[in-house]
Structure 1
Amino acid sequence: MKAEYSLPGNNSNCSTENRVNQALFPLLYTLIFFVGLIMNGLAMGVFFQISSKSNFIVFLKNTVISDILMILTFPFKILSDAKLVSWELRGFVCKVTQVIFYFTMYISIIFLGLITIDRYLKTARPFKTSSTDKVLTAKILSVLIWIFMFSLSLPNMILTNKKPTLKNVKKCADLKSDFGLVWHEIVNYVCQFIFWVSFAIIVVCYTLISKELYKSYKRTRRTGTTSRKTVNIKVFIIIGVFFICFVPFHFARIPYTLSQTRDVFECSTQNTLFYIKEGTLWLTSLNACLDPFIYFALCKSFRKSLLNTLHKCVAKTRRDEITDTTDEETPM
């Protein structure tokens, strides 16, 4: 049976066999589901052992929670796209898990922006520590971000209220009420605003960070010390993750949206834009696997706690092996 989708535009008969969506992308999502679940599960366990003593750690803890929620949506997308279950699941994906996916994506984007600001302040004022009041402010800000994004996303679930049928589940927009479509458009504009503001913050902060590191480099050249320069350079992992995961999708989304709403592209171009959008959407999911590298590279408390945990696990395994060997050699 051929799985097809229809594209509006200058060719109403434009359709394609969705074999890439049905085979390749479910495989790719399955890979990052298992890798991301292991890495973020371990990260969550480590963060439970670390007190929230700085803004940075507060923001990182919120990021790992967001990543885990995103990862938990992957099995539903995998099963739906691979057509391994009945079409009724597609209705649940449109109503719930797809909304959660985008909800957590933009929470991650917001917190990456906040983490970048924090790292800039740390670079500019390396010896200034976070006070209790500032940590409390970071916690309150984090709660407000979750409440705001949840309030923005919940109507998308509620207003996806048409009864799913075999025909209308092929396109999630067909399950929305008229006001649901309007709200969905509003949410898209808000999310675009969130991305571009975060993008601007990250670019500006890293420009300033680069200047601070260059000043530090010139100072260390004069004094003959280079250790601080090599440590601070790791902060660029944040902008690397942001540009790999989020920038391609938001640039690809512009022409893809035009292809869905205006008669400006040929059928072959529409299909190409669809696959580019799906591929870059997978890159946004890859963020859940890359964020733990940020924790390890930039958070000393996380790194120390993780290494201690791994050391204890290795030591316990060795003790168990020695005990088993001793038991085997003990005469009856």
Structure 2
Amino acid sequence: MWPQMGEENLTDSVESNSTVCSPIDDFRNQVYSTSYSFITLLGLVGNGFALVVLIRTHRQSSPFHIYMLNLAVSDLLCVMTLPLRVLYYVKKGEWILGDFLCRLSSYALYVNLYCSIYFMAAMSVTRFLAIVFPVQNLRLMTENRARLVCLGIWVFICFSSSPFLMVGQKQVPDTNNFKCFEPPQADGVQRLVMLNYLSLVIGFLLPFLVILLCYAGIIHALLSRKHAARRNRGSGTRAIRMIVIVLLTFLISFLPYHIQRTVHLNFLSRTDTTCSEKVAMQKSVVVTLCLAAANSCFDPLLYFFSGEGFRSRMSSLHRSKSSSQVDRMKQLKPITGSESGENCQLKSSNSTTNRLG
């Protein structure tokens, strides 16, 4: 379903009939290698820590907890493939890791992108029901139903993104080097335009509309609460934090990428473009794709600031570790002479008591 495009190098495939513009290889290699390195580091640390906390406290499970767990897994699967891209751009566009990893690295980025959008939509619906319809929420939002929703999202997104597995590495005839993330040929641009509109509606606009409607309902419910109902201020605070973080993620990561991709594909069908326009468009591809990949760095903020009891999970995990360490210290603590004497006296007095009894 999603447009099958070589995202990093898309503009290289379509040149106008008049002039051939100078490439932006140096800019592209530097920005991608630096950005993906930072995203990998932050994404691994943040989502790895969140995943450990969520798994170790699985007994405190809830539908929101299940969505957070799946979102963290999606982010980790994505950032684990980013070092492959870093190596590719550090080597100035030479792919040395084989055809399978080329397909996998492109596939993983888009699976994460749209899984993140849909998991955020599911989390928003869950929060909406908990605040606006708290009684019905207990019946509607169960853990088993949340697992089924997550399974459906994984199957749908993985299947829809499967075209990215169909295009692998390509060999350059002049140098015999291999390249990855290469664009389609010029005659396939019109097909990509149609596929882009389909993915734009189903993969982005539809879940984003659901999120906006849920947030509108949440804000209306919070503003219309009476003073007596303010004992639930904790859930309202978490909801506000979630609204802010999710909207920032969409405004920074998802929205610029989808707008730029749509404008870019229509730009490629033109034949009257100048070199300055082409260079600007190519650089915008680089910047917006880096922002899209950075969505995995925003999600740990969502867990920490708006997750149901995430910080209490961290505290309980810390307390359990501390208690286990104390227990081990007690077991390993050597018996001193005074303690041995006290134990002997205790045993002697117990035996005397037994005889007198």
Q: TM-score, normalised by structure 2?
A: 0.74
Residues 250 and 51 (structure 1 numbering): CA distance in 2 closer, same or farther, change over 3 Å?
farther
Decide which moves more: 6-15 or 274-283. Answer: 6-15
2: CA distance between counterparts of 1:226 and 1:136?
26
AA of the residue aligned to 2:133:
R
For 1:233, which of 240, 259, 263 is the aligned residue? 240
AA of the residue aligned to 1:121:
L
Query: Contact 1:91–1:164 (CA<8 Å) still a contact in 2?
Result: no
Question: Greater CA radius of gyration, 1 or 2?
Answer: 2
Query: Contact 2:93–2:179 (CA<8 Å) still a contact in 1?
Result: no
SS at match of 2:33: helix
Within-5 A mapping of 1:45-60: 45-48=52-55, 49-51=57-59, 53-60=61-68
2: CA distance between counterparts of 1:233 and 1:133?
20
In the alignment, what sits opposite 1:309? Answer: 317
2: CA distance between counterparts of 1:183 and 1:57?
40
What is the deviation of 1:133?
Answer: 7.5
AA of the residue aligned to 1:114:
A
> C-alpha deviations, 1:249-273, integer Å up to 9, x for none?
1112122222223225322112112
For 2:161, which of 122, 129, 153 is the aligned residue? 153
Within-5 A mapping of 1:93-242: 94-126=102-134, 129-131=137-139, 134-157=142-165, 159-160=166-167, 164-165=171-172, 166=176, 169=179, 172-174=182-184, 188-193=196-201, 194-216=203-225, 219-220=226-227, 227=233, 230-236=237-243, 237-242=245-250
SS at match of 2:309: helix
SS at match of 1:13: coil
Query: Contact 1:234–1:297 (CA<8 Å) still a contact in 2?
Result: yes
SS at match of 1:205: helix
For 2:297, which of 289, 306, 327 is the aligned residue? 289
1:6 has 2:6 as partner: no
Q: Calculate the aligned-residue CA RMSD, in Å.
A: 3.6
Query: Contact 1:54–1:130 (CA<8 Å) still a contact in 2?
Result: no
AA of the residue aligned to 2:85:
K
**Count of residues in correspondence between the two structures:** 313
AA of the residue aligned to 1:233:
I
Q: TM-score, normalised by structure 1?
A: 0.79
Residues 189 and 276 (structure 1 numbering): CA distance in 2 closer, same or farther, change over 3 Å?
same
Residues 128 and 183 (structure 1 numbering): CA distance in 2 closer, same or farther, change over 3 Å?
same
What is the deviation of 1:71?
Answer: 0.5
> C-alpha deviations, 1:200-222, integer Å up to 9, x for none?
11222222222222212xx23x8
AA of the residue aligned to 1:140:
L
In the alignment, what sits opposite 1:22? Answer: 29
What is the deviation of 1:312?
Answer: 6.1
Q: Percent identical across equivalent pairs?
A: 23
Q: Which runs of 5+ in 2 are unaligned?
A: 1-8, 329-357
> C-alpha deviations, 1:183-203, integer Å up to 9, x for none?
977764443221011121122
